[in-house]
Amino acid sequence: MAAMTYVNCSSVPTLFTSSLQFVVTHLPQYITEVESLPSRVKDRLLNLLSKRGLLTDDNISKVIHDRVKVLDLSECDVTDDGLQAITLCKQLRKLDLNAAKENRTSITTRGVQLVAQSCPILQTVYLRRCLNITDDAVISLSQCCRQLMLLNIGGCRQITDASLEALGKHCRMLKSVNFCKTKVTDDGVISLVTGCCKQSLTEIHMNHCIRVTDESVEAVMECCPRISILLFDGCPLITDRSRQALEELSGPQTHMKQVTWTIY
């Protein structure tokens, strides 16, 4: 009797998946046809292209559509021209421009301003280590995107107190903000945590901000009742006074889950 061979059908890619993979591999050849595909197919292509870092200024306008809600460009080499193309995405909720490996210099304030002005319901914006981002970019985001909840501007070395002041003034829903390795001072941190987002803030990353002092830590603990993550290691002006503030101001109702700091 001949032996029976069983095939696990769940491990065999569908024709649709195989076709997508083929198009991704040969994108330049089919870029014109891609532009006319339905949005649900484009969504799958966007996911594959973004994961492989294949979205560029030249092709992004062919793949996106006006109902895109999430766009991850962290692995992709795009410039302000690429950001110009996504301004049609009025329903965009999340934009990830974090520099995945090295610093990113191709994205500037101009590109972020274009997106902020065109995508008013953005809730999550990641700009980690985008070196050419200035306060004007964050000010535009805070003024135009009032639903902003998560913002990462860590490593954006040109950021100053003006960014935190704008966030504190306009972003009532802000929950998490990362401004590590920036030029902010106590004035900026205090403006942020005493602003309209003081009740919503749960997470603050200010590692390696060499100009902040114990006053910033005390202000966070005093003004933000829902804070659960506070990171301020690598801040040389922080002293043991901050540890004391954490002990004194962390009562039985505290939400604190994670704290890191360096005492010099």
pLDDT tens per residue across span 226-248: 999 999 999 999 999 998 888 88
CA–CA gap between residue 41 and residue 112 (Å, rounded):
27
Structure confidence at residue 231 (pLDDT): 96
Q: What angle do CA 146, 151, 154 make, to 5 degrees?
A: 150
Confidence of residue 2 (pLDDT cuts 50, 70, 90): low
Residue 126 has pLDDT above 80, yes or no: yes
pLDDT of residue 253: 60
Whole-number pLDDT of residue 247? 83
pLDDT at 243: 85
Q: Residue 8: pLDDT band by 50, 70, 90 thresholds? A: low
What mean pLDDT do residues 58-69 have? 94
- E-strand spans in 144-212? 150-152, 176-178, 203-205
Is a pLDDT exceeding 80 seen at residue 119?
yes
CATH domain 72-261 topology: 3.80.10
Average pLDDT score over residue span 87-92: 96
Query: Residue 150: beta bridge partners?
Result: 124, 176
Stretch among 94-98, 101-105, 159-163 having the lowest mean pLDDT: 101-105
Q: Does residue 15 register a pLDDT over 60?
A: yes
Both tokens assigned to 230 = 């506070």
Look up residue 12 and give its amino acid: V
**Per-residue confidence at 37, pLDDT binned at 50, 70, 90?**
confident
State how far the Cα of 238 lies from the Cα of 235, in Å rounded to an integer: 6
Q: Does the CA dihedral 174-176-180-184 come out positive or negative?
A: positive
Across 51-141, the runs of DSSP E, i.e. the strands, are 70-72, 94-96, 104-108, 124-126, 130-132
Q: Taking all residues of the chain, what is their mean pLDDT, rounded to a whole number? A: 91
Q: What integer is the mean pLDDT of 160-167?
A: 98
Residue/partner pairs of 237-242 with CB below 8 Å, 24 or more apart: 237/210, 237/211, 237/212, 237/213, 237/264, 238/212, 238/213, 238/214, 238/262, 238/263, 238/264, 239/213, 239/214, 239/263, 239/264, 241/214, 242/214, 242/217, 242/218
In the structure encoding, which two tokens stand for residue 37, read together?
């595909």
What are the residue ranges spanned by the domains of the chain? 72-261
In the predicted model, what is the mean pLDDT of residues 199-207? 97
pLDDT confidence tier of residue 261, bands split at 50, 70 and 90: confident
Between residues 138 and 41, the one the model is more confident about: 138
Place of tokens 């195989």: 18
pLDDT band at 116 (very low <50, low <70, confident <90, very high): very high
